[in-house]
Amino acid sequence: MKKMNVARKIISAHLVEGDPAKDPELGIRIDQTLTQDATGTMAYLQFESMGVPRVKTEISVSYVDHNTVQIGFENADDHDFLQSIAKKYGVVYSKCGNGICHQLHLERFGKPGTTLLGSDSHTPTGGGVGQIAIGAGGIDIAVAMAGGAFHIPTPKVRAIVLKGKLRKGVSAKDVILTVLKKFGTKGNVGWIFEYTGPGVATLDVPSRATIANMGAELGVTTSVFPSDSVTRQFLAAQGRAKDFVKIVADKGAEYDDVFEIDLAKVEPMMAAPHSPGNVVTVKSKKGLRVNQIMIGSCTNSSYRDIRTVALYLKGKHVADDVEVGIACGSRQVVNMLAKDGSLAILHAAGCRMLENACGFCIGAHMSPRTGAVSLRTNNRNFEGRSGTKSAQVYLVSPETAAASALTGRVELPTDKPVKAVPSPKKFPIDDAMFLYRKTAGKGVKGAAITRGPNIAPVPKGEPLAKDIKGVATIKVGDKITTDHIMPAGARLKFRSNIPQYAKFVFEPCDPDFHDKCMANKEAGLANVIIAGESYGQGSSREHAALCPMYLGVKAVIAKSIERIHRANLINFGIVPFVFENPADYDKVRAGASLDMRGIRAAIEGDGRLPVKCGKESFVIRTSLSGREKHLVLCGGLLASL
């Protein structure tokens, strides 16, 4: 028998469709799901419309952590809706204030050897405890909750072999930034990164989770660590010793590629504006004036991280001209920081202690001032994501953030490092803000659903027409993120109201996009998006497909499209095409008409479609599995039911 790596072991144990040796797509059974509020409302509306009486997973958890600002009634209405849905359908509900979904899930539910599907791109955080944890659009979570399989491209597995031990002042964030420097944010679609080698044993679970979390920025399907004695100790300290199973790669396990990192040689790194892949050494920016430092997010908000920051700041004060905000990942983290005196240290040092939530990471508050340099421990520094377009956001480790807070300039955390924080022997456990644990999986029959005025029904797509007369309504460049397509921040409160949210599609690129689409739609023309490389990077938000569908977008033609976004497009009946010859991108100008005659037959056939664009002509192509063809032809998943 083949020697198996960790990823293949877990995937084969969950395989329900396809053969990894010959099929391009696999269907896997999903054990656990998670949703967060900003994507959850749609996921549950879709689940509701499937008419299934209760969730069929081992556990499904609904977290509220994104839209917590509650200016106006919209966020609170969403929370209420989510709570009522959880009660009815047997979902565990994590109340607002409990913490950030990925940190909480790791602490209380993540189980080695299981599969987790989450409506958030950073769901792979669960890879830190040996889960195959994958981010997807809300409708895929709805299908999984209803007992359906989830489909992934048959993965290639790259071993990231860790050797040695990190130096003092260097941490997991620097490791994943090193990986991002090597592999970038594009070109990794379809891969799973599996961390292995003797260095793995030197990393605690929160550090592993940080690395797995930012695999999302690589664009991989997921990242995974083995489940070993470190995992066992973590789960036991969480009072979950029974959840432990050992899963390590077989000796001599096969990988599709191998990359080695000597942890002892990893340097403090930072991602410079405006991409997590734009990685440079901290040394190269030493002395740069900093205006703001934000610590937290699902990447770096564990006890280990915030305690480390407190050790750097102990008995000191942050520089006068820098503002420092800290958001912890969970109540457990806050509880521990309160007990060991760290909270008092951080307050005394002049840090603004924020809610245990996503907050600054998604631009929901604490936007920096115009032109500011902001150092942040989160995972994305896309232009404008902080809420301030002119801000220069650098992604750093908690150590670099803390050291720099003291002087208001970029500092090397290795100059005056602090002691390593040992893994707690016992975490304080308080699950009081997880509601409906007793009715999990069963639900409460007859429980009423609360639906405020901001919660609008989900629109359904229409079957794909035989021929399409299209317009290149917008032409965008490379690395367009879902934050460009469907902005969050101030617009986030419309997540449950598609007609309203659709007004802001492509707001940062072309504020008139909505109106142009509506006019074309009225004139019987199909809207088409033209894009460069790596279209749809970033978030799992299906709104970046659902809202364009609502505006009459029928196809995207790009040089390449990222995995989650491609799946979301298909789920909402938008055809994801690529240029057969990428240079043909230059033949299309914004506003040009596109003759896409025979589109339906092309999908039914080999996926190749010749397109006429004025005097130019070129060929576009889509490679869809049988299942995907069916969805696109029907007008999306909901329309196919």
**Which residues here bind ligand MIC, judged by CB under 6 A?**
38-39, 66, 120-122, 135, 362, 488, 538-541
Q: How is residue 13 written in tokens?
A: 């144990």
Q: What proportions of the chain, in percent to the nearest 5, are helix, strand and coil?
A: 35, 20, 45
Identity of the residue, 65 or 533, whose beta carbon is nearer to ligand SF4 in the bound complex = 65
Q: What is the distance of C-alpha 510 from the center of its chain?
A: 25
Selected from 42, 43, 82, 100, the binder of ligand SF4 by CB under 6 A is 100
Is 209 near ligand SF4 (CB under 6 A)?
no
Interaxial angle between packed helices 205-213 and 229-237, expressed in degrees from 0 to 180 and rounded to the nearest 10: 100
SS (H, E, C) 318-337: CCCCCEEEEECCEHHHHHHH
Residue 378 sits in the site that holds ligand SF4 (CB under 6 A): yes
Residue choice 9, 122, 600, 629 for contact with ligand SF4 (CB under 6 A): 122
Q: For residues 176 and 298, which CB has a smaller minimum distance to ligand SF4 in the complex?
A: 298
* Cβ at position 360, least distance to ligand SF4 in Å: 9
223 sits in which H/E element:
strand 222-224
Contact partner, 310, from ligand MIC, ligand SF4, none, Cβ < 5-8 Å per class: none
Q: Say which entry of ligand SF4, ligand MIC, none residue 38 contacts (CB below 5 to 8 A, set by partner kind).
A: ligand MIC
Least Cβ distance, residue 473 to ligand MIC (angstroms)? 23
Please tell me what DSSP assigns to residue 382: -
When binding is defined by CB under 6 A, the residue of 196, 297, 381, 397 that contacts ligand SF4 is 297
340 three-state secondary structure: coil
Residue 269 Cα distances to 280, 324, 377, angstroms: 6, 20, 12
Q: Of these partners, ligand MIC, ligand SF4, none, which one is at the site of residue 100 (CB under 5 to 8 Å by kind)?
A: ligand SF4
Assess 120 for contact with ligand SF4 (CB under 6 A). yes
- Smallest distance, Å, CB 563 to ligand MIC? 12
Q: What is the side-by-side order of every strand in the sheet holding 222-224?
A: 222-224, 191-196, 156-163, 257-262
Assess 361 for contact with ligand SF4 (CB under 6 A).
yes
Asked if 214 touches ligand SF4 (CB under 6 A), the answer is no
Smallest gap from Cβ 66 to ligand SF4, in A, equals: 6
Convert residues 34-73 into a mask of x (bound to ligand SF4 by CB under 6 A) and - (unbound).
--------------------------------x-------
538 binds, among ligand SF4, ligand MIC, none (CB under 5 to 8 A by kind): ligand MIC
With 0-12 / 13-18 / 19 or more C-beta atoms within 10 angstroms meaning exposed / middle / buried, residue 453 is: exposed
* Axis crossing angle, helix 37-49 with helix 138-145, rounded to the nearest 10: 50
Q: Which stretch binds ligand SF4 (CB under 6 A): 46-54, 135-143, 254-262, 357-365?
A: 357-365
Task: Please give the Cα distance from 147 to 433 (Å, whole number).
Answer: 26
Q: Which residues contact 266 (CB under 8 A, 6 or more apart)?
A: 166, 167, 170, 174, 175, 178
Site residues for ligand SF4 per CB under 6 A: 66, 100, 120, 122, 297-298, 358, 361-362, 378-379
